[in-house]
Structure 1
């Protein structure tokens, strides 16, 4: 499933311009970095390079899971589908009666010096 396909030319020096439509999709500004990922099937994915995260701030399990999702979506874009009305109905039933105040402050995780478990 192709959403946007834009042709670009590679110069004699091996350079190209990222087309405006792609820059918009990736929310690229001047001097932003991009990364190219070559997949096993020959597909190349171009993505915005996110700033490096300090090791102490990173969650390695979450990072590996997000990497898995990214690779899976790139390999199997046909599996990305819009949820149907029944899915939405089941979600609404699951959260019926649950009150959430999005403006309420989050509770402290470390009130007693020990993490919650």
Structure 2
């Protein structure tokens, strides 16, 4: 059962920037209530979208340099990476159905 992977400064490039598929990175912190609220939805979506995208998590308390590098000022923030480049972001907690729509839109090729 696929779960979101936890990434750090050490493995971010390998696991996110060089990933063979699109990646959604959840910037979160353990003390953040909205972050904890969306965690079960992200776990479910990681399983649902397995093979189509990877869901990763960055604890901003432990890895502040990554949050700074990607200009994360509030959490939760989801940043969507395609071929190593951030292409979209979603700030704040969303219900599972809305997160699913955001994921689907991210995976839909643009003309």
How high is the TM-score relative to the length of structure 1?
0.27
Larger radius of gyration, structure 1 or 2?
1
Higher strand share: 2
